[in-house]
Amino acid sequence: RYQVEFDELIAAGTAQSTPYTGNPPLKVWMGPEDGLYNRVVNALDGAQSTALVAMFQLNSTSVIDALIAAKGRGVDVVVVLDEVQATDPQAQADETLVAASIPVILAHATGGNYAEMHSKFLVVDHQLVLMGSTNWTNLGFYYNDETLVVIDDAHLADRFEGKFAELLDTYNAPAPASLGLVEGAQQVSFAVTNVTLDPGVELTIQSDGGGPFATPVALNGMTITTSIAAGTRLTYHYRIVKGGSTLAIEGTPHHFTVPYAQGPFAVTDAFTP
């Protein structure tokens, strides 16, 4: 699909994508020809428990109406917007959403590692993720060449909810519980692939900079389960050890942020020495 879209860009042409057969867990849609607006509104209309939005630009009144309708059905809706874009005199999405009692966090970048809150994603019911290049604007939906990826997978949704937790903490949002989100300790299981252990050899996990694995902890074979506070950002490595000596350690760390949501969460990592 991306190759077809690229060829269309080169030829300055456009055509609707080939329809999917069945219901695959990952779908890619191209704009404006594939009706990206309908994909977003349909996802919001189907929300039953939560709708978490991180969006650089939002001014589509129809999408705003869909967010408000979801809130009216009892869905916990939380929106993070880039402050510069949201406070543009012609943009009133934040005021409209706040008037409907939807929490809106305006992300104000103060330099350092963050220049703008440029994310563009939606997580619905801890299961469905919509992400891509598309801003939720009339230009983004109807005029620009854009992409939208729709992923129906709880494990990937966990990753995006972890990113959402990072946004809330980075941009000084109110306490998650006040937003309808979950706080407190959550069960997290880690499983490791791409490694085989010989007799007498064990696998350990250790987090960088403190946390629940501040000192190395041995896995039970290839898995370990523990309780970790929601919102915790983990950076960690796996080691292969024997008799207290390290035989192999990963060169690149893994990262996982525990979502502000009800667990349990399952993390699968590939050992990469």
Say which residue the tokens 């967010």 belong to: 67
Residue 137: φ, ψ to 5°: -130, 165
Q: Which DSSP symbol is given to 211? A: S
Cis peptide before 19 (omega within 30 of 0): no
Structural element, H or E, at residue 160 = helix 154-170
Nearest to residue 119, comparing CAs of 104, 137, 133?
133
How much is the mean pLDDT over the chain? 92
User: Is the same domain home to 99 and 168?
Assistant: yes
**Does the structure show a pLDDT above 80 at 111?**
no
Q: Is the pLDDT of residue 185 over 90?
A: yes
The number of folded domains in the chain is: 2
What's the DSSP call for residue 136?
Answer: B
Whether 131 and 219 map to the same domain: the answer is no
**Would you place residue 121 in the very low, low, confident or very high pLDDT band (cuts 50, 70, 90)?**
very high
Whether residue 164 sits in one domain with residue 235: no
Residues 110 and 201 in one domain: no
Specify whether 158 is located in the same domain as 24.
yes
Q: How confident is the model at residue 147 (pLDDT cuts 50, 70, 90)?
A: very high
pLDDT of residue 6: 67
- Indicate whether 40 and 144 sit together in one domain: yes
Indicate which CATH number applies to the domain containing 203: 2.60.40.10
The answer to whether residue 249 scores a pLDDT higher than 80 is yes
135 and 250 in a single domain? The answer is no
Both 192 and 171 in a single domain? no
Same domain, 171 and 215: no
Whole-number pLDDT of residue 21: 74
| Least-confidence region, from 22-31, 94-103, 106-115, 136-145 | 106-115
At which of 179, 212, 229 does a domain end?
A: 179
The burial class, CB within 10 Å (0-12 / 13-18 / 19+), for 238 is: buried
The DSSP code for 32 is T
Boundary-marking domain end, from 179, 206, 230: 179
CA-based nearest residue to 61, from 138, 140, 142: 138
193-to-187, 200, 226 alpha-carbon distances in Å: 20, 18, 19
**What's at 135, amino acid-wise?**
N
Q: Are residues 193 and 79 in the same domain?
A: no
Same domain for 162 and 195?
Answer: no
Please give the Cα distance from 97 to 75 (Å, whole number). 14
* Bond from prior residue into 32 cis (ω within 30 degrees of 0): yes
Tokens read off for 56: 């650089």
Is residue 175 classed exposed, middle or buried when 0-12, 13-18 and 19+ CB atoms within 10 A define those classes? exposed
Spell 85-108 as b/e; 16+ CB within 10 A means b. bbeeeebebbebbeebebbbbbbe
CATH for 117: 3.30.870.10
**194 and 170 fall within a common domain:** no
Structure tokens at 229: 């506070």
Q: What is the pLDDT of residue 4?
A: 67
Q: What is the pTM of this model?
A: 0.89
Q: Which of 144, 179, 214 is the last residue of a domain?
A: 179
DSSP secondary structure string for all residues of 163-182? HHHHHHHHTTPPPGGGGT--
pLDDT tens for residues 215-239?
999 999 899 999 999 999 999 999 9
User: Domain limits at 261?
Assistant: 185-270
